[in-house]
Amino acid sequence: SAVISQKPSRDICQRGTSLTIQCQVDSQVTMMFWYRQQPGQSLTLIATANQGSEATYESGFVIDKFPISRPNLTFSTLTVSNLSPEDSSIYLCSTTGGYTFMNTEAFFGQGTRLTVV
């Protein structure tokens, strides 16, 4: 299994600023994922982050707005840039665990609740 620590757990930010969310996994993992959960909605995948390569973004999400870093096999950051109230959501980090491409169960951090004012 993989234990994911995500911080901050919540933040209130001014519009126009940026927030960087950190995700630390207790073991080396190949793939890490960032999701967004807008109020009352399900989870939507923002991007997939592989170590050593640029993140792969889903339709509707762009690198300028959601830059991602993946400096090593246990850590990733997601920045939400130029914040607007529409960015108020829960952001979750996830991994499917393991340092292989074998499919495994998915683990999630506790999420970061962002409120933009």
Partner 1 sequence: GEDVEQSLFLSVREGDSSVINCTYTDSSSTYLYWYKQEPGAGLQLLTYIFSNMDMKQDQRLTVLLNKKDKHLSLRIADTQTGDSAIYFCAESISGGYQKVTFGTGTKLQVIP
Site residues for partner 1 per CB under 8 A: 6, 31, 33, 42-45, 48, 90, 92, 94, 96, 101, 103-111, 113
78 CB-contact burial (10 Å; exposed 0-12 / middle 13-18 / buried 19+): buried
Residue in this structure with the two tokens 């890490």, named with its chain if needed: 32
Residue 32 in tokens:
């890490």
Minimum Å gap between C-beta 114 and partner 1 is 13
Q: Which is nearer to partner 1, 15 or 106 (CB)?
A: 106
Q: Which is nearer to partner 1, 16 or 105 (CB)?
A: 105
